[in-house]
Amino acid sequence: MTYQTQRKSGWLTVTRRRKVQEAGLAYLFLLPTLIGLLLFTMGPVIAGFLISFTNWNIFLPPQWVGLENYQTLVSQELPHKVFWNTLYYTALNVPLNMIIALGTALLLNMRLRGVAFYRAVYFLPVVSSTVAASLIWTWLYSPNFGPINYFLGLVGIQGPPWLGSTTWAMPAIIIMSVWKGFGTNMLIFLAGLQGIPQELQEASMIDGANRWQRFWRVTWPLLSPTTFFVLVISSIASFQVFEQVFVMTNGGPAYATTVLGLFIYLNAFRYNNMGYAAAVAYVLFALILAITLAQLKLQGRWTHYEL
């Protein structure tokens, strides 16, 4: 009997030792990931939060100022404008991008000659760098020599000065961003459309549903998880828009296109206000968190998961 129990516990320690060994090896495999998580993500998130309570120009030691940076942010007018500019950009960019992406995905999901070629062409702007695309579009928007205003002139419209106008600079950046970015979402939608079982489409066709009904009753509900995913990632990306604004307008004219991403960059690396920039970055973080959580919460109301 003693022999029995001894043997049993011996077995136990062997399996436990194996488990410990495996866990140790797993952490070894994950070592780069863990270091990265601590050094480049979690650490900076905490450090950034602390920096946001200081006055710091990076050369002298930081001074603790409590909530001063956040108070400045609330009381001054410019951060408000920057905040609204960012919302304006996101509120137009995300829906436009998604509608065009879904529309082209539906088109390019049909049996068309050369469909693969078209898909590649629609995706091309995604591959180019935002800097290159911004330089091209700055030129396209040129009020005096640019082809956009030339085409508008052909149909009798006097084109606006686009990037030089406080009213039109932001729409101009949004148009360029939609052109540049919708290809990714188009491919995600295409993949989603392919995941919809053929039988359902065929069954609804036999039942006499027209194309409009088929879209709203079959495709749209079954595509809703994809739509939700696209909505979340597009919103997160939109709130961080930076490069096209930096290159095309540098935030102007008269701060009409200064978005949070640019405002943070300017404060941190041009004006050396690390503390204030960190505070603005945290507001952006809170905004993204709030919007993402709201979307997660609301998704049950309109998304449909097939089980």
113-132 binders of another protein (CB under 8 A): 115-125, 127-132
Q: Which DSSP helix (H) or strand (E) runs through 55?
A: strand 54-55
Q: Which of 70, 220, 255, 285 binds another protein (CB under 8 A)?
A: 285
* Range in contact with another protein (rule: CB under 8 A) among 1-9, 71-79, 160-168, 222-230: 222-230
Residue 23 contacts residue 16 (beta carbons within 8 Å):
no
Residue 231 burial class via C-beta count within 10 angstroms: exposed 0-12, middle 13-18, buried 19 and up: buried
Q: Which is nearer to another protein, 58 or 74 (CB)?
A: 58
Q: Which of 169, 170, 222, 274 binds another protein (CB under 8 A)?
A: 274
Residue 181 lies near another protein (rule: CB under 8 A): no
User: How far apart, in whole angstroms, are the C-alpha atoms of residue 171 and residue 39?
Assistant: 38
- Report how far apart the first and last C-alpha atoms of the chain are (Å, whole number): 52
Residue 133 burial class via C-beta count within 10 angstroms: exposed 0-12, middle 13-18, buried 19 and up: buried
- DSSP tag of 284: H
Q: Which is nearer to another protein, 58 or 254 (CB)?
A: 58
Task: State in angstroms the smallest separation of the CB of 134 from another protein.
Answer: 9
User: How far apart, in whole angstroms, are the C-alpha atoms of residue 176 and residue 248?
Assistant: 10
Backbone angles phi, psi at 238, to 5 degrees: -65, -40
Q: Which is nearer to another protein, 3 or 282 (CB)?
A: 282
* Range in contact with another protein (rule: CB under 8 A) among 4-12, 66-74, 82-90, 266-274: 266-274
Number of H helices and E strands in the chain, helices first, is: 15, 2
Task: Dig out the tokens for 13 from the structure.
Answer: 């320690």
* Range in contact with another protein (rule: CB under 8 A) among 77-85, 89-97, 162-170, 286-294: 286-294
Q: Which of 102, 223, 246, 251 binds another protein (CB under 8 A)?
A: 246
Residue 32 lies near another protein (rule: CB under 8 A): yes
Q: Which is nearer to another protein, 6 or 29 (CB)?
A: 29
Q: Which is nearer to another protein, 6 or 16 (CB)?
A: 16
User: How far apart, in whole angstroms, are the C-alpha atoms of residue 53 and residue 65?
Assistant: 6
User: How far apart, in whole angstroms, are the C-alpha atoms of residue 166 and residue 94?
Assistant: 21
Binning the chain into helix, strand and coil, the percentages to the nearest 5 are: 75, 0, 25
Residue 240 lies near another protein (rule: CB under 8 A): yes
Q: Which is nearer to another protein, 1 or 61 (CB)?
A: 61
Task: State in angstroms the smallest separation of the CB of 170 from another protein.
Answer: 19
User: How far apart, in whole angstroms, are the C-alpha atoms of residue 273 and residue 149?
Assistant: 40
User: How far apart, in whole angstroms, are the C-alpha atoms of residue 238 and residue 261?
Assistant: 10
Per-residue x/- track, 80-109, another protein (CB under 8 A)? ------------------------x-xxxx
Q: Which is nearer to another protein, 219 or 256 (CB)?
A: 219
- DSSP tag of 213: H
Residue 47 lies near another protein (rule: CB under 8 A): yes
Task: State in angstroms the smallest separation of the CB of 4 from another protein.
Answer: 27
Residue 70 lies near another protein (rule: CB under 8 A): no
Q: Which is nearer to another protein, 6 or 298 (CB)?
A: 298
